[in-house]
Amino acid sequence: MHILTDISLKPYNTFGINTFARYFTSFSNVNELREILSQTKISDIPPLILGGGSNMLLTKNPEIVLKNEIKGIEKIKEDEQSVFIRIGAGEVWHDFVMHCIDNNWAGVENLSLIPGNAGAAPMQNIGAYGVEIKDVFHSLQAFHLHDKAIVTLYRDDCTFGYRESVFKNKYKDQFVIVSVTLRLYKHPHFNTSYGAIGKELDSMGVKELSIRAVSQAVINIRTSKLPDPKKIGNAGSFFKNPEVAAEKYDQLKKDFPGIIAYPARDQFKLAAGWMIEQCGWKGYRKGDAGVHDRQSLVLVNYGKASGNDIYLLSEEIQKSVWEKFSVRLEREVNII
């Protein structure tokens, strides 16, 4: 184990924000994590646990950053219908999805090309095109930073919500996710009704539906709409799509006939990107902080923007959406 000092975090976050960690190291198993946390100089400092760095906005220099590099993909049991797969938290999520496609394990194909590592998947309850991680989630193992013990949490323990879990509120900064176990399926239940998947499958000329075809359709759509973080710094969708009651939606539809929304249980989920675009933000740029010119839901760093530059821009967007629609936008990205 080697603890580095004053390390730039620019290569470790997809926004490309150039903040610095006072102490930086990585761990590939729980014993290494325990050893790191026992070091006198860092034992009393709350660490920032870093995975793929794809859903965070760094606005300050953290004291200590621990990079989770726990690997491994293991089938732990199966029955006639299902396979239970345990994934190390440090595995790249999209690589894992492709591994599932290759093995004909269904359930995560709609979650193709979501950036980040597997450990963040339940933390964020990642979702796309009608599927969320909670739909296939079985359990996870997590290391309690105070008690130094491994605990197992099941689906109900995680209190999943829309891009929410217990790790973003009640248990925030208390655990390091070590592994995630998903229940995947030998016989797929295709979900192609959300967004443009059906249209994309048609344009691909798909005659026989498969999880590989659905995955490729999702990849095609995401590639056409979202900027590559390797080319333009970003963290994907910056804001959540807000949910409103039916009465509020009816009023909005009366005032704004073109508003885009989807039924969500007993509410309606509004397209935040559409509202942001209606407020004139699409393609906006101030210095190196901006709004993507193809997807208004994505804030971007064109090179040298600071985390505060991006944060202040997000506040301006929230204010303008509230003033126009009386709807509050909530950030999906974690502010550090």
Q: Which residues pair with 151 in a beta bridge?
A: 142
Burial 273-309 (b: 16+ CB within 10 A, else e): bbbbbbbebbebeeebbbbbeebbbbbbbeeebbbeb
Among residues 82, 112, 179, 237, the one annotated as catalytic is 237
Does the active-site annotation cover 163? yes
Among residues 109, 132, 243, 332, the one annotated as catalytic is 332
Q: Under DSSP, is residue 30 helix (H, G, I), strand (E, B) or coil?
A: helix
CB count in 10 Å sphere of residue 76: 10
Cβ-count burial of 324 within 10 angstroms (0-12 exposed, 13-18 middle, 19+ buried)? middle
In eight-state DSSP terms, residue 17 is -
Among residues 54, 112, 163, 306, the one annotated as catalytic is 163
Does the active-site annotation cover 38? no
Q: Under DSSP, is residue 67 helix (H, G, I), strand (E, B) or coil?
A: strand
Q: Under DSSP, is residue 275 helix (H, G, I), strand (E, B) or coil?
A: helix
Are 118 and 91 in contact by the 8 Å Cβ rule? The answer is yes
Q: How far apart are CA 312 and CA 182, in angstroms?
A: 38
Are 26 and 75 in contact by the 8 Å Cβ rule? The answer is no
Q: Which two tokens stand for residue 259?
A: 């508003």
Identity at 17, one-letter amino acid code? I
CB count in 10 Å sphere of residue 248: 17
Residue whose tokens read 């659905």: 214
Does the active-site annotation cover 331? no
CB count in 10 Å sphere of residue 331: 18
Q: How far apart are CA 2 and CA 136, in angstroms?
A: 37
Catalytic residues: 163, 237, 332
